[in-house]
């Protein structure tokens, strides 16, 4: 007989998988990838020019300088409880088109499952405790191409979403992203329309695992609604390259995220449209060593005396590039600087050409 004290666990799981509000659906895809981008507060939609463009703006894949580019990243959040992993690769199909693939996983592993802690005789048996994972996966296929208009490129993502909560529930989803990039002298302009057709996640529940017997009563915690919707988000970015001194050069970028799912706690709050600005800067020496800064997550916070103050999240990063190998590091947070849980993020990339040019 399953006892009353395991009900809170089942309620928690039920709430997790029944969070049908569109506002924070698939929010793991808003964290970002690549230590370069994270160090610049995710302000790279207009300036991304490596394999991470498959995530930030697929049109940016046309800016790659080599035939192949692969990257891998690992990060841990909430004091190591949550693991965030990224793997991607891209290749030039010809002089005008590129193809890329991206895999993202954000999950919490080794969660104790105490639903069978008590056996049929009412005895507590710790050997009956099992473990499960709650993880979100995204698989992106990117295609980018130059247009006949000089310096204008476009790209698109077809993405498959898989979300899993142990043996209790799982969901499949599908979405599309569209990106555009345009260069005008030292200026770069980028646009990413994420989930342009809206992304739908369809959940399936294991009712046997979500049924609890308490004395003579039976409770079923399987949600009735199995559809989760992610509304579109548009990110506009503008960046500029500028010289500093001899071999020192820099890039500064300002991005603005437009969301259409109701009022959010961001700098420019609106209903249904909210706008979140963020900015980053990168300084490099001869394209070998890089230092990056970023600021974002601006919020108005009400103090105890009812006065409002402005908070923001600073980010920092460094990088080195030598003979096709890039190692980037970022010190950043998942989004709530009040927790003071900054994470160390590392990304390794390798860029190379075909042995024989066609």
**DSSP result, 111-140:** EEE-TTSB-TTS-B-GGG-EEEEEEEEEEE
Q: What is the dihedral of CA 263, 269, 273, 274, to 10 degrees?
A: -100
The pLDDT score that the predictor gives to residue 216 is 53
- Count of structural domains within the chain: 1
CB neighbourhood size of 308 (10 A): 9
**154 inside domain:** yes
Domain residue limits at 149: 4-228+317-352
Strand partners, 106: 84, 136
**358 inside domain:** no
CB neighbourhood size of 197 (10 A): 12
Question: Which stretches of the chain score pLDDT less than 70?
Answer: 1-24, 120, 207-225, 334-341, 355-358
**23 inside domain:** yes
**301 inside domain:** no
The pLDDT score that the predictor gives to residue 24 is 62
The pLDDT score that the predictor gives to residue 210 is 62
Of 292, 289, 189, the residue nearest 240 (C-alpha): 189
**261 inside domain:** no
**165 inside domain:** yes
**118 inside domain:** yes
**243: helix, strand or coil:** strand
Q: What is the pTM of this model?
A: 0.84
CB 267 within 8 A of CB 274: no
């Amino acid at each position: 007989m399953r006892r009353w004290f395991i009900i809170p666990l089942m309620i928690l799981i039920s709430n997790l998988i029944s969070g049908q509000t569109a506002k924070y659906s698939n929010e793991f895809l808003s964290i970002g990838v690549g230590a370069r981008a994270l160090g610049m507060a995710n302000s790279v939609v207009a300036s991304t020019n490596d394999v991470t463009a498959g995530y930030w703006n697929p049109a940016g894949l046309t800016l790659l300088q080599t035939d192949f580019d692969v990257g891998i990243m690992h990060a841990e959040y909430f004091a190591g409880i949550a693991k965030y992993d990224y793997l991607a690769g891209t290749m030039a199909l010809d002089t005008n088109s590129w193809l890329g693939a991206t895999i993202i996983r954000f999950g919490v592993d080794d969660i104790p499952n105490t639903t069978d802690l008590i056996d049929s005789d009412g005895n507590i048996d710790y050997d009956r405790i099992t473990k499960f994972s709650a993880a979100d996966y995204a698989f992106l296929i990117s295609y980018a191409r130059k247009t006949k208009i000089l310096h204008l490129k476009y790209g698109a993502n077809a993405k498959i979403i898989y979300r899993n909560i142990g043996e209790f529930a799982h969901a499949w989803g599908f979405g599309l992203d569209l990106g555009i990039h345009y260069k005008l002298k030292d200026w770069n302009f980028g646009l990413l329309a994420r989930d342009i057709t809206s992304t739908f996640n369809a959940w399936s529940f294991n009712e046997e695992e979500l049924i609890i017997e308490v004395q003579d009563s039976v409770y079923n915690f399987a949600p009735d609604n199995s559809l989760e919707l992610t509304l579109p988000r548009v990110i506009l970015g503008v960046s500029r390259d500028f010289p500093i001194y001899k071999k020192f050069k820099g890039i500064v970028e300002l991005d603005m995220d437009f969301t259409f799912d109701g009022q959010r706690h961001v700098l420019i709050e609106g209903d249904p449209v909210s706008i979140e600005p963020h900015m980053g800067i990168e300084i490099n020496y001869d394209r070998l060593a890089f230092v990056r800064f970023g600021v974002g997550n601006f919020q108005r916070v009400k103090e105890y005396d009812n006065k409002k103050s402005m908070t923001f999240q600073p980010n920092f990063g460094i990088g080195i590039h030598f003979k096709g190998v890039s190692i980037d590091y970022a010190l950043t947070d998942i989004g709530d600087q009040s927790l003071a849980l900054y994470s160390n993020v590392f990304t390794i990339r390798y860029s190379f050409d075909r042995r024989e040019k066609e």
